[in-house]
Structure formats: C-alpha cells, structure tokens
Amino acid sequence: MIRDFNNIALYLSLCVLRLWCTTLPGYIHPDEFFQSPEVMGGDVFGYEVFRPWEFEQSPQCRSIVIPALTIGLPFNILKILNVWAIKFGYGDYTVYTIAQLFYPNNAIQSLLVLASSYVVLIFNTRPFSNSAELILLALLFCTYVKGSTPKFPLRRQPGDSSTDRDEFPVNLAFLFGCIAAFGFFTRITFILYAFPIGIAFLHYIFLSARAQGKSWHSKFSELFPACLGLVTTTGICVLADSLYFGTLKVTFGGVILNNDHIFEFLSNPAKFMKIGWHGKFIITPLNNFIYNINSENLSQHGLHPRYLHIYNFVLLFGPLTLLTMKDLNAVWVIFNLVFVVIFGGLHQAGIVPIMQKLQNQSLGFKHCKNINGYFRCELGKKITNPVKNQSEIFTTNILFYKTYMPPHHLLGYPKSWRGTNIQVNIYDLAGSSLSNLGNLLSEQVLSKSSLVDNIWKGHIIFQQNNKNSTNFERTLLVTPSTTELSPLFIESYNEFISIGDHNGNKNLRLKLIEQQWPHINFDHLDRIIAKGMYLNIYLLISFSD
C-alpha cells in the first residue's frame, strides 16, 4: 500500500514536471510549428505566415481537420478569452486503462515509465502531427481493448472462457471507425501503426472463439457500425478539406453561398433544397501518398538513409531498447533528464523567445521624428497601430541565418498591415552559403554608424532609402553566436566589420543589439566555449558615414 502511494505521488510529480516542460523554449524540429500553428495563426489571427508546401501546392497533401481541431480551436478560445490552454495527458488514460486490464498489479509502473519519458515530457507536449497521431493510436487501441473485453468481470481472470464475451458494443465499434478515419487524415503513417489493431479487430469479429457458430450476417452486422463511423468521418474530413482549400464551393441557386443566404434559410427552411455544389472533392492523404512515393519530390525536402529510423528509435527510447525495465532505475532517469534539458531547454531554444524581441523591434516603436533623412523612433513594448496612406513607410528587414525556420505567426504581423506605413520582411536563409548572405546584406539600406553609435540607447533608427525617398528601412540579422562569419567580416568587440563582398563593398558593419540565451544548434559544438550559447540580433550599419 505504501509503495502504491509512493508511486502515485511520483506519477503526480511527473505530471507537474510535464506541465512545466510545456513552457520550455526548446525548438525540436520545424514541423513543431509549421504542421499546424503557423497555418492556424494565419487563419485565426490573420497574421502573415509562411504556409508549408503541403497546404499550398495543388493538389493539397495535408488535411486541415486535425490542425483545426487541435490548434485552431484553442487559438479561437485564446482569441476570445485571451488565455493560454495547455494540451496535456491525453495518452495517460489509455495506457492506464490497458495496463489495468492486462497487468492490474503493475498499472502504476506503466504510467511511471510513460510519464518519466522525455518523449512524453517534451515531444508529446508540442504541436506535432505525430503527437495527435500518437493520441489517436492510443485511443484506437483502448477502444478495441474495451470492446473486446467482457463487461463482467472487468478484468480477465484465470480460467475465463473466451466464449463468455459479449458482442463488440455498437457505440465502441462506431467510435473505432471514427478514430481510424481521423488517424488516417492526421498522418498517412497511421495506417501502418493501426494495421495490427485493425487485424485484431477483424479477427475478433470473424474468427475468434466467441464468433464460432455465428452466421456471416451476424458478423457483418457487428462490423457495420465501425464501417459507418469510418465512412462518415472520412466524408466529413474530405468535405472540410475541399471547402477549406477551395476545390469545392457551396452554391445557392447557382451563386456561391455567402452570409446573406443564412438569413434566407432561417426565414424559409425550404430554401435549403436549392443548395448545390460546384467543383471537386479532394482527398489529402491520397495526394500525400502519391506525392511521397515519387523520390524526385522527396529529394526537394532532403533524403536520409533508411537506417536512420533505427538510430532514432534508440535515441527516442534509449534504455528501453536495451533493458528489461522492472522499475525506474538510474540509467532511465539520467537518460531522460539529459534529453529533457537538451531538447526542452537548449536545442534551438532562442528562436521562440527572440521572436518577441523582434516584434518589439519591428512593431513596437513610437514617437518617430524626421531628422535630416532619417527617422528616430522610441523603442516600446506595445504594438503600434499602423497608419494607411501615410507618406513615410517604415520597413524592417529580418534575415535569419543558420537557424531553424522562424515561425512567422509568433512575430504577430497581421496580413492586413500590408499597404500601411509599417512593413516587415522576413528572409529565411537557413544554411545558405556565406556568399549568399553577403550578397543579400550588400543590397540592404545601411543605417549611418554615427547615428546608431550616438543615439542608439532606447531608440530605433530608420534610414532613408536612396531609391525611394518615402521608404525608411533598417535591417536585422539573426544568427547563432557560433556562426562563422570570418570569411566576410572581421570580428571586433560586439560587432563585425566587412572585409569586402563580390562588388568590393567594404562599408558593412554588424552591430550586436540583442542576445537570447540559451541557444544551441549542435552544428558547431567546438565553438560554444569561445562563443557562448547565444542567438544574436545584429543591426546592419555602415562602416563610415
């Protein structure tokens, strides 16, 4: 009894740790943001975002249903209530339920292994589509186990006859089909993971001992609710995707449906009969499969050896791949603690918090004064409302180099601001060559060094563009402190001085204005001791006026 109490207390402590891990700034992989939050940030908040290829190319390859439910719905709640909602603990219930049915004496140990894994603490608390896939797979397994286990007794007892089981409940069979369809529209890999569960379900319906002597009619009748749930949910997902991506239009009397027609329906429901469809349906998982079986398409996004999955399996589950775990031990605890720190607190951890600083730098200025060809603005923390049709335009160019893809929606630049006096341009250079970086920097408007050096503190300087006298610009470079810039620049205290570009231009200077700690990209671990674990923001200025 005391041991159970200690295990429960340990599990609850791990749940608190999981909640805390959701606040860590670690950036695991671009899919963390660009599979769902980036798209929903544009749709819900109207921000200017970068939509990944799965949602942009024709035909589209990623369903909008799961992103809309898992991210779009919380974003809408946030938009209304202005509070954060945290995704937490969906898989715990299914693991505990299954463990209670098969290993009732060790159910709490199963929860402890789950709750102490860094995969759950870090990866599964992030908005990956893989996280939604895991939850749906667990729910599918739990639904099968509950439906195929006798109601009385709840747990299997030695000597129980399998012929005493009830039929698979209709409501659980329908739910089984619904979950399977949602999983398929979440990721096409769901089919592979769910395949053994589906085979077990069909075996239970048609070939198990309790099905012996039943007519084929009875067996198919038992299967029908699952098929109905599968077909119904698939139809809803196909319809939602087709409407969202615009391949299908709802018409009313031959005209595309709009908000005015809603009042007509309310006043005269008989007019519903005039609703029609124009266009075609789109099946996003099928498009995804067709796209990915073409190796030429995959080469555009980067190919990796197939054995990498074996390496990743060991990296994810560590000692579980090598040991038979009877209890949590030092190896398991140390392994997960190390990777919680690495992926939760260090890996690309500067990107998310630095977006807030960039928002202040590009959208939070105020009280601008025109002084002989440049504007001096005060640096604030509240977003300044833009002004349309103003003669002066303030443009901030932000260059990201040697970082993961920056989530544009975290900058919070509304799409409706295009055409106003506040403009923001983001250039993601990723791992481009230094020559590409140098060429892009040489094309930018340079702030005068004397202005920046003399009146920088608490102010932002916008320099007049010589090609457009009404446009005032500034350029920021965001790159890790470990980035090697020496082929282009000479490093001097907190800044880099250009040694020349392809055009012989030696008038560039990079002045360090902000730093975010910690940030590691693991590309240049040998430089961390000398350069530190920072993500830096540099202001592009002239070497001399």
> Residues 298-325: pLDDT tens digits?
777 667 777 777 777 777 777 666 655 5
Spell out the domain ranges in the chain: 49-87+128-247+282-300, 351-542
* pLDDT, position 271: 63
Q: In three state form, how does the secondary structure of 440-500 look?
A: HHHCCCCECHHHHHHHCCCEEEEEEECCEEEEEEEEEEEEECCCCCCCCEEEECCEEEECC
pLDDT tens sequence across 76-120: 777 665 433 334 555 788 888 888 877 788 788 888 888 888 998
Which residue type occupies 216? W
Question: Would residue 160 be called left, alpha or beta, if left means φ above 0 and alpha means ψ between -120 and 50 degrees?
Answer: beta
Which one, of 410, 287, 267, 280, lies nearest residue 352 by Cα? 410
Tell me what percent of the chain is helix, strand and coil, each rounded to the nearest 5: 50, 15, 30
Pairing state between β 535-542 and 468-480: antiparallel
pLDDT tens sequence across 405-448: 999 999 989 988 888 888 999 999 988 888 899 889 888 888 77
Which one, of 69, 68, 88, lies nearest residue 18 by Cα? 88
Query: Over its length of 545 residues, how does the chain's per-residue pLDDT go in tens digits?
Result: 556 777 888 888 888 888 888 778 888 877 777 777 888 888 787 788 878 877 777 777 788 887 888 788 877 777 665 433 334 555 788 888 888 877 788 788 888 888 888 998 998 888 888 888 988 998 999 899 889 886 544 445 555 544 445 689 999 999 999 999 999 999 999 999 999 999 999 999 998 888 888 888 899 999 999 999 999 999 999 999 998 888 888 776 666 766 565 666 666 666 666 677 888 899 999 998 988 888 777 777 667 777 777 777 777 777 666 655 555 578 888 889 999 999 999 999 999 999 988 998 888 888 888 887 788 888 877 676 776 656 788 999 999 999 999 999 999 899 888 888 889 999 999 888 888 998 898 888 887 776 676 656 678 888 888 777 788 999 999 999 999 887 777 776 666 666 555 444 456 788 888 899 899 988 788 888 888 899 999 988 876 65
Which positions ≥6 away from 445 have C-beta within 8 Å? 463, 464, 465, 466, 473, 474, 475
DSSP one-letter code for 306:
T
Contact 489, 510 (CB under 8 A): yes
Backbone angles phi, psi at 35, to 5 degrees: -85, -25
Consecutive H or E run containing 541: strand 535-542
* Torsion 345-347-353-357 (CA) sign: positive
d(CA 424, CA 359): 10
Helices 2-21/107-116 angle, 10° precision:
30
Global confidence as pTM: 0.81
